[in-house]
Amino acid sequence: MRRSKYDRPAHLDDPARAGARLTTSAMIASIAGPDQRTAPAPFGHALAELGRTRPEILGITADLGKYTDLHVFAKAFPDRFYQMGMAEQVMISAAAGLAREGFIPFATTYAVFASRRAYDFIFMAIAEENLNVKIVCALPGLTTGYGPSHQATEDVAIFRGMPNLTIVDPCCAHEIAQAVPAIAAHRGPVYMRLLRGAVPVVLDEYGHEFEIGKARLIRDGADVLVISTGLMTMRALEAATLLAADAIDVAVLHVATIKPLDVETIRAEAARKGRLVVVAENHSVVGGLGEAVAGVLMRAGVHPPAFRQIGLPDAFLDAGALPTLHERYGLSSAAVAASIRGWL
């Protein structure tokens, strides 16, 4: 485990102050509500299940096996697990070499470390060669309260311009379990944003089936279309329930694959008359799904009555308890509902 400014605030290790700070566990809390169904380590369990029939699947990490749920795979297949230490560039280079030998390495770290530290290695060693490496990264966007050192608020913006790279942002444990075999079957590099630990189970109630490159209309509605990805699809569905009490009918289009975008479905849904179009994402409003969707609509000549974004500001975000931060930056279900209500 990393013990540096990248993992734990120094005051938490100060015996004189630690007692007053025990409640800061909320900074790494699950995004699930108190009564919400969850599944433990869905990525790790799905990869271990896949590994039983796919001997070419390997797990490789940069000192974060436990914190990316890869430890589940490591326990099942210790001879197919590689711990590279705090060296993301080395991990990526090793993954490229393993892929050249016919293996399918799943390389895990935190999203900040893959996007900021290892970008050039991913570009040169993996994407340019179109190698079959799957990069699966925890703590995307605002899924920790530890401040800018861990908040990968711009990872999608960084990676969207990389040729050959598929970008996936699952909503929940149900979708992660479906996405793992799908990205393993996909030929070429994939970057997947990972929800880890006790992950909410949401989309099974809607009969959702993950498919790379396909957006799914999870809920229809006549007044508002929310185009969302990742955990914000869960928030959008929760907000839709809140808004229904005000007779506001909200549709939710889930976009699990940010690149390549399902342009046809997005264009068709946004072209339906009379609906406010809102893009919701756990990412900066700069360079993410919102701007990608806006570009699609402009190029297609689709002009909804209004277009709005729910996302993170172009700023270094505060540190603090995760529920507080989600409320502060507009990602909570109540905040999403309030934003949409104010725009109508």
pLDDT, tens only, 84-98: 999 999 999 999 999
Query: Rounded to the nearest 10 degrees, how much is the dihedral formed by the CA atoms of 183, 184, 185, 188?
Result: 70
CA distance 210 to 256: 8
Look at strands 166-168 and 257-259 and give their pairing.
antiparallel
Summarised one tens digit per residue, pLDDT across range 157-167 is 999 999 999 99
| Helix 173-185 and helix 42-51, axial crossing angle in degrees, nearest 10 | 40
Position 188 scores a pLDDT of 98
CA distance 202 to 325: 22
Give residue 10's pLDDT band: very low, low, confident or very high (50, 70, 90).
Answer: very low
CB 218 within 8 A of CB 205: no
Position 34 scores a pLDDT of 86
Write out the two tokens for 96.
Answer: 């490229």
If DSSP codes are grouped into helix, strand and coil, which group holds residue 143? coil
pLDDT of 7 > 80? The answer is no
Give residue 26's pLDDT band: very low, low, confident or very high (50, 70, 90).
Answer: low
Look-up of token digits 């109630």: 205
DSSP state of 42: H
Q: Please give, one letter per residue, the 3-state secondary structure of 167-202.
A: EECCCCHHHHHHHHHHHHHCCCCEEEEECCCEEECC
Position 33 scores a pLDDT of 87
CA-nearest of 200, 256, 236, 243 to 309 is 236
Q: How many residues in total does the chain contain?
A: 344
Position 1 scores a pLDDT of 37
Give residue 66's pLDDT band: very low, low, confident or very high (50, 70, 90).
Answer: very high
Among the ranges given (13-22, 31-40, 204-213, 220-229), the one the predictor scored with the smallest mean pLDDT: 13-22
Among the ranges given (13-17, 52-56, 207-211, 240-244), the one the predictor scored with the smallest mean pLDDT: 13-17
- DSSP string of 210-266, one letter each residue: --TT-EEEEE--SSEEEEE-THHHHHHHHHHHHHHTTT--EEEEEE-EEES--HHHH
How confident is the model over 278-306, as a mean pLDDT? Answer: 97
CA-nearest of 248, 301, 255 to 282 is 255
How confident is the model over 212-225, as a mean pLDDT? Answer: 98
Specify whether the backbone of 110 is left (phi greater than 0), alpha (psi in -120 to 50) or beta: beta
Give residue 29's pLDDT band: very low, low, confident or very high (50, 70, 90).
Answer: low
CB 210 within 8 A of CB 178: yes
pTM: 0.92
Write out the two tokens for 120.
Answer: 């050039």
Average pLDDT score over the chain: 92
Summarised one tens digit per residue, pLDDT across range 179-192 is 999 999 999 999 99
Q: How many CB atoms lie within 10 A of CB 6?
A: 13
pLDDT of 22 > 80? The answer is no
Position 20 scores a pLDDT of 39
Query: What domains can be seen in the chain, in order of their start residue?
Result: 36-200 (3.40.50.970), 213-343 (3.40.50.920)
pLDDT of 273 > 50? The answer is yes
* Cα Rg of the chain (Å, integer): 20
How confident is the model over 239-260, as a mean pLDDT? Answer: 98
CA distance 52 to 57: 9
Among the ranges given (24-33, 104-113, 290-299), the one the predictor scored with the smallest mean pLDDT: 24-33
Position 28 scores a pLDDT of 62
Share of the chain above pLDDT 90, in %: 90
More confident residue, 217 or 1: 217
Query: Rounded to the nearest 10 degrees, how much is the dihedral formed by the CA atoms of 28, 33, 39, 41?
Result: -10
CA distance 235 to 227: 12
